[in-house]
Amino acid sequence: MAATASDFQDRRFLKHVLDNLHGIVYLEPLFLKFIDTEQFQRLRDLKQLGLTNMVYPGAVHSRFEHSLGVYWLAGEAINKIKSYQGQELGIESFDVKTVKLAGLLHDVGHGPFSHMFESGFLPQVFGDKWSHEDMSVKMIDYIVDKHHIDIENGYIKRVKEMILASSKHVPQNAATEKRFLYDIVANGRNGIDVDKFDYIARDSRACGVGCNFHFERLMETMRVMDDEICYRASEYLTINKLFVTRADLHRTVYTHAKVKAIELMVIDALCKANADLGIADSIHKPSEFWKLDDSILKRIETTDNPNLKEAKDLILRIRRRDLYQFCNEFSVPKDRLEHFKVITPQDIICSQKAGDVTLKEEDVAVSTVKIDLTNDRNNPLERVSFFKDFESNEKFPIQVDRISHLLPAFFQDKIVRVYAKKPELVAAVSDAFENYQWKIYGRTEQVHATPEKKRRRTTRSLVLQ
């Protein structure tokens, strides 16, 4: 049963908002202290799916509403566990508040344009590894200090540990007791967490792609055994559906070929503008980082600075739908995944045969997309512990062949896509890409040839020039 306002000690101090996914979400005073800051309100100006709305127009929801949703589901999860096992597990008010606060603040360190900023732009201009989880931890400290939030250090320490738990393990200096609490918001143990519950449902709704995974079923069957959240064995296929739905979203929405084309253009624009705007300079300074949001594109687009002309022109091309042209793609063979070498524009142009056009490195963009079920090339269900029924006291793994022979035997795709940065170069880039495949694999891995319509359009462009 969902928590209501009456579950809290005094409704006079509660505020509520109407969320289009979860209904009424109640906000308690402690959490409002963080929400009502300019650093958290910045999340309103970060689209949850970055540039995806340029292909799926409805994908304009923000990290603000997602964060409220994860806060709410984190509270639902810990309260359900507490209602059934609270006395047995020693769940206290401290535990409930830290789980909910971790849900609220887990994305406060995100940069513009979703994960593109972190995994696309920064690697090109910044050598060291950077993650939004690490920045979230720094931002929490900054918010507490900046706004003089009266909260015990123990709360903040636990919240930061929970946010970092998504990196496949709980920090070594984290508390060793109540390990299951770290699995609720950002589960590095098996990938089942309320963060996924919220964004899978919210993103599917916004993009209109439908969602047949219902997290409510899992929320009702959670049970802590040996300090781990386990699930009833009968929900095996429900959990599989969670991972498959996430992978489908990656394939059809997050890594859509045109979405990636636009991302590649924005990355190029940000790289060209970085020296003048110092975009990457703020990534270690919360006092500056919180000022950075999706409006950076409009700032470049409307500038009169002549140094930003190239970046401005790229954004103008996006507005006018003059995008980098998708040429073709192939899925890396399974036997080549382990030792896969990242393919670069240089690899493509070095595979070009003699022709009317001589390609240069700046004419080609390559995007390598990895889609898996959260556990690289392994079955994520192998990491999940189950129990038979609520009367049993034993947890166990389940082998996939005991459930169904229709489930996948392999769990990762790596897709290489190549784009021509100018429409008139599509034919030349496509041919070079095909030659590269023959050179590396001795065959063409791509399923479809580049459409003749694109090639004919390319020929006309060259004639007109």
Catalytic residue positions? 132
Q: CA 365, CA 363: separation in Å to the nearest integer? A: 7
Question: Are 151 and 31 within 8 A, CB to CB?
Answer: no
* Structure tokens belonging to residue 441: 């694999």
Q: How many CB atoms lie within 10 A of CB 402?
A: 8
Q: How many CB atoms lie within 10 A of CB 105?
A: 29
Question: Are 398 and 381 within 8 A, CB to CB?
Answer: yes
Side chain identity at residue 436, one-letter code: Y
Nearest to 236 by CA among 262, 218, 210: 218
Residues 6+ apart with CB under 8 A from 398: 233, 236, 381, 384, 386
The structure tokens 């949001």 sit at: 293
Q: CA 425, CA 458: separation in Å to the nearest integer? A: 7
The structure tokens 């004919």 sit at: 456
Nearest to 286 by CA among 136, 155, 147: 136
